[in-house]
Amino acid sequence: MSFAKVMELEDRYGASNYAPLDITLVRGEGCHVYDEQGRSYLDLMSAYSALSHGHAHPRIVAAACDQLHKLSVCSRAFYCGTLGPFLARACELTGMDKALPMNSGAEAVETALKAARKWAMLERGMADGEAQIIVMEGNFHGRTISIISFSSENAYRRGFAPLTDGFVSVPYGDIDALRQAINPRTAAVLLEPIQGEAGIRLPPPGWLAQVRELCTQKKILMLVDEIQTGLGRTGDLLACDHEQVKPDGLMLGKALGGGLLPVSLFLARKDLMDVFTPGDHGSTFGGNPLAARVGLEALNVLMEEHLIDRARQHGALLLAGLKSLRHPALRDVRGRGLFIGMEFDPAQVSARHFCQLLQKEGALSKDTHGTVVRICPPLTLSEEEVGQAQGCIERALAALR
Ligand SMILES: *Cc1c(COP(=O)(O)O)cnc(C)c1O
């Protein structure tokens, strides 16, 4: 079957909720992906951090293959040998007490919301249905009905009502607005330490620590979504570590699956996680033996191959290189670690068009919100590949003229 046919089938029989670039990928290895003609591209978006370890990481693939021959799925009706070690390692690394395994990121966020509401009832004495959760404008936490209910993005919400109640939105990075929004019904604050989908938006320095202090003082839960920023992406294990902030509840996903599987976790302090009792929450595939084995290997590879240091060093190098670029259409370059956004003037060029130019130059990425191009390669990016990335971006920028 020709690849034109493959694309045609996907477009004809698939829902059109995505608008992929005109390219069919057939293979990936490390920081590179290959199209059907064998042409190689540098992966500059790593599936929104799901590929932080690079494509087909040999150790993670080997662990998955080994586990596939033993036991892949058994449901949580029974204990399995791989879940305990995975959860223990995740807790040990993040400093959390307990973890609840799910599959997608959105499910980990839903779990956090459920935990916070039940905690408010049990620990804060609120009535069932009374708890409010404060969220940030520009947030992205996934696509379930409850999560899109508090999205500031009209397109994510329109047509999907009735929406879920109980959320209050405040401007991102504004500590005074947050302080003012807190009332006796406030159970939790949910935030991303750097907003990815919104265009790699960094909050003002010190804001995370201020939120932590405010939450502690008001006896409110600080819930941090590190599904995209976590596991080394920003040059720290967690983006929160940048300000030595420890949340009460933490969501991980994407990179946790080692580039192979959807694996997510909600991690929390013991008293928060202990609101769950047998039967009140669950997932058929959550924490299955294969996912747990892959998740553990993903964490071990991250630490043993020093991917966090790489993200910090090579991210600083790439960010400095990109910041030095000058072009009338390039408005801003910002980021931390290997979490970088290039913002373009929409009157001069769409971010999508820039991605198309980038593709011609041998690198792939994705625009967000029409104006920002993500530069978020696998954390395994070598110093030589930093140079390659810089070269592709320079040539694409030159092609704009
Ligand atoms: C991707 C993402 C999610 C949702 O994860 P899915 O696996 O797509 O459900 C949630 N929060 C953040 C910050 C994300 O980047």
Task: Read off the pLDDT of residues 35-78 as tens digits, 9 standing for 90 and up.
Answer: 999 999 999 999 999 999 999 999 999 999 999 999 999 999 99
Q: Cis omega (within 30 of 0) on the bond before 162?
A: yes
Q: Virtual CA dihedral for 135, 137, 140, 144, nearest 10 degrees?
A: 60
Neighbours of 27 (CB within 10 A): 13
Ligand 1 atom index nearest CA of 195 = 13
What's the gap in Å between 18 CA and the centre of ligand 1?
Answer: 16
pLDDT-derived band at 258, boundaries 50, 70, 90:
very high
Interval between CA 5 and ligand 1 midpoint (Å): 31
Q: How confident is the model at residue 3 (pLDDT cuts 50, 70, 90)?
A: confident
228 lines ligand 1 (CB under 6 A): yes
Q: Is position 360 annotated as part of the catalytic site? A: no
Average pLDDT, integer, range 349-378: 96
| Alpha helices in 19-159, H assignment, sequence order | 58-68, 83-94, 105-123, 145-148, 154-157
Cβ–ligand 1 distance for 368 under 6 Å, the answer no
CA distances from 213 to 122, 216, 224, 247 (A): 23, 5, 14, 11
Rounded distance between C-alpha atoms, residue 188 and residue 212, angstroms: 11
Look up residue 61 and give its amino acid: V
In this predicted structure, what is the pLDDT of residue 293? 98
| C-alpha of residue 45 to centroid of ligand 1, in Å | 14
What's the gap between Cα 199 and its chain centre?
13
- Contact call for residues 131 and 117 (beta carbons, < 8 A): yes
What is d(CA 172, CA 169) in angstroms, rounded to the nearest whole number?
9
**Residue showing tokens 């477009």:** 11
Strand order in the sheet with 249-252: 98-102, 264-268, 249-252, 221-225, 186-191, 132-136, 167-170
Q: pTM for this one?
A: 0.98
pLDDT of residue 401 exceeding 90, the answer is no
Phi, psi of 267 (to 5 degrees): -115, 150
330-336: strand order across its sheet: 330-336, 339-344, 372-375, 367-368
Residue 323 neighbours by CB under 8 Å, 6+ apart: 333
- Alpha carbon of 352 to ligand 1 centroid (Å): 21
The pairing of strands 264-268 and 249-252 is antiparallel
Residue 53 has a pLDDT of: 98
| 105 Cβ closer than 6 Å to some ligand 1 atom | yes
| CA-closest residue to ligand 1 atom 11 | 141
Residue 140 near ligand 1, beta carbon < 6 Å = yes
Q: Is residue 276 annotated as part of the catalytic site, yes or no?
A: no
Q: Is the CB of 136 under 6 A from ligand 1?
A: no
Q: Could you say which DSSP state residue 200 is in?
A: S
Q: How far apart are the first and last CA of the chain?
A: 39
Closest CA to 110 of 233, 238, 227: 227
pLDDT confidence of residue 1: 80
> Residue 209 pLDDT more than 80?
yes
CB 101 less than 6 A from any atom of ligand 1: no
Burial 251-260 (b: 16+ CB within 10 A, else e): bbbbbbbbbb
What is d(CA 230, CA 336) in angstroms, rounded to the nearest whole number?
12
Residue labelled with tokens 């935990």: 115
Q: How many CA atoms lie within 13 A of 2 on its CB side?
A: 3
pLDDT value of position 145? 98
Could you tell me if 265 and 112 are in contact, meaning their C-beta atoms sit under 8 angstroms apart?
no
Question: pLDDT, tens digit, for every residue of 289-335?
Answer: 999 999 999 999 999 999 999 999 999 999 999 999 999 999 999 99
Tokens of 299: 């964490």
Q: Identify the pLDDT of residue 2.
A: 84
**Given a cut of 90, is residue 105 above it in pLDDT?**
yes
* Residue 147: burial class (beta carbons within 10 Å; 0-12, 13-18, 19+): buried
Choose one of 228, 234, 368 to mutate for the ligand 1 pocket test, by most ligand atoms within 8 angstroms of C-beta.
Answer: 228
Our answer on whether the CB atom of 106 is closer than 6 Å to any ligand 1 atom is: yes
Token pair 């449901």 is at which residue? Answer: 75
% helix / strand / coil in the chain, to the nearest 5? 40, 20, 45
Q: What is the pLDDT of residue 14?
A: 97
C-alpha to C-alpha distances, 6 to 33, 100, 400, nearest whole angstrom: 18, 38, 31
The C-alpha angle with vertex 368 and arms to 193 and 240, in degrees rounded to 5, equals 10
Round to whole Å and give the CA distance between 155 and 164.
Answer: 16
Average pLDDT over residues 15-22: 93
In angstroms, the CA 264 to CA 303 distance is 18
| Domains, the chain, with CATH or none | 3-56+307-400 (3.90.1150.10), 58-304 (3.40.640.10)
What residue has token string 């586990």? Answer: 67
Kindly give the number of the ligand 1 atom that is closest to the alpha carbon of 228: 15
For the chain, give the mean pLDDT. 97
Ligand 1 atom at minimal distance to the Cα of residue 106:
9
Q: 140 catalytic, yes or no?
A: yes
The reported pLDDT for the residue numbered 329 is 97
Q: Is 192 in the pocket of ligand 1 (CB under 6 A)?
A: yes
Atom 10 (ligand 1) nearest CA: 141
